Structure 1
C-alpha cells in the first residue's frame, strides 16, 4: 500500500481556514468532477474531527517533486464553483506544507550528519579553552608567559572549530528559513526534530537566523550572534580579566599584542 500522510487541521495547527461547511455546496457542485485538478499524490479529502474542517491525505512526498501549485487551468476554469476552487486551493496549501517538510528532511539530513562531529569538535575545543584559562589560578608568576602561549593556542583552536560549525549552520539555517517561507511559521519543521529522526541530539547546537551570518557591522568582533561571535566575546572577557590582574599586581599593562 502507498504510504499516506494526513494533514489534520486544526489538530496540527496548520492555520488553514475551514474547508467545508455542511449545506454550503449544491448538489450540482458536488457532482462536478474536479479529479483532473488534484495534485498527483492526492489520495482523498474527508471531514475532520471538528465541524467545518477537512483532512487531506496524500501519498508520501519525497521532497524531489516540484513545489505543489494549483494549475492555471484550474484557476481559470469558470465552471468550478467558489467552494470547489477553495477546496482545491486548500488542498494545494496542504500539499505544499507536506512537500516542504519532505524537502527539508532530504536536504538537511546530510548536513546535520556532517554537522554532528563539527559540534563535538567545537565543544571539545571550547572546553579546552576554558580549562586553559582556569589554569591561571594555579600558574606560578614566572610561568605566566608560557601559560599565555597555551591560551592563545586554545583560542585559535576554538575559533577554527567555531567557524567550521558556523559554515554548515548557515546552510542549515537557510534551509529552515525556506521551509518556513513555503509552509508558514505555524507549520515549521524544527531542525532539531529532523536531527532527532536521524538519531542525533541537536538540542544544544547554536544555529541562528540566516541574517546573523550575513557580513555586516553586527558580525564584527564582539557584536554578532554567530558561534564565533559568542566565542570572541568570551575571549575578550578573559583577556580583560588578565589585564585587571596584571594591573593589580603592579605589572605593566598586558597588551593584545602579547595575547595574539
Structure 2
C-alpha cells in the first residue's frame, strides 16, 4: 500500500483542509505463477472522522492500512473539523466540500474510480452521521455506507452539544431540514424510487448514542431500506471501532 498526505485549499469554498490517502499497489509478477495488475481506477472508501478528531485519526488508532491492503481498496480520509459534515451557519460549507469538491479533487490527484458501484463511505460517531448523510442524499454517488456508533438523530444534538449545534445549524428548524435530517433524507429517498445504497449500522449497547441508533434502525426498517444492523456489548471507544471497521470491510460489495 502507498500512503500519501495532501494539504489543499478550496478557492470556491474558502476551506483549507488535509486528507490522508491509502492507495493499493499494483500486483507484481512472481516466479512460477501468472500475475495481473489491478484495475486502473481503484475502488474507494471515503472514511470519515468523529467530532473531536481529524483526518489522521483512523491511521493512528486502528490498523486500517493493514486491513485494506489485501482488498485492493483505496481509502480517502479527509479533515472536516467540527462541522458535522454540514454547511455551517457560523463556518464553512463543509457539506458542499465533502459531497462535491472532495471526490472530484481526490480523483484529480489519484487514479480513483468515479463509478457509483466502486465508491463507499463509512465513519464513526459524527463521521457515521456524515456517511449516512452522503449515502441518503447522494445515492447516485455511493454503492454502500457504514455508520459505526453514528450520531444519527440530529434532533438530539441541540442538548448534547449546544454550542456546536448553534454554530453549525443555527436553529433546530434548520437542522431538521434536508440534507441534515437523516430520517427525512431516508423518507425522501424511499419516496423518490431511486436505487438505494446498501447501509451497514453498528453500535454498542453501552454507547451513549445507542438509543439514537435504535430509533434510526426502526425508521429504516419501516421504510424497507437495505440495512444490515448489528449491536452488542461495547461503548464509544477505539477498541470497538477497530474491531468493527474490519466487519465493515468484509461487508462492502467489493466483488471478491
Whether these two folds match at TM > 0.5 is no
- Structure possessing the higher radius of gyration over alpha carbons: 1
Using structure 2 for the length normalisation, give the TM-score. 0.23
Q: Higher helix fraction: Structure 1 or Structure 2?
A: 1
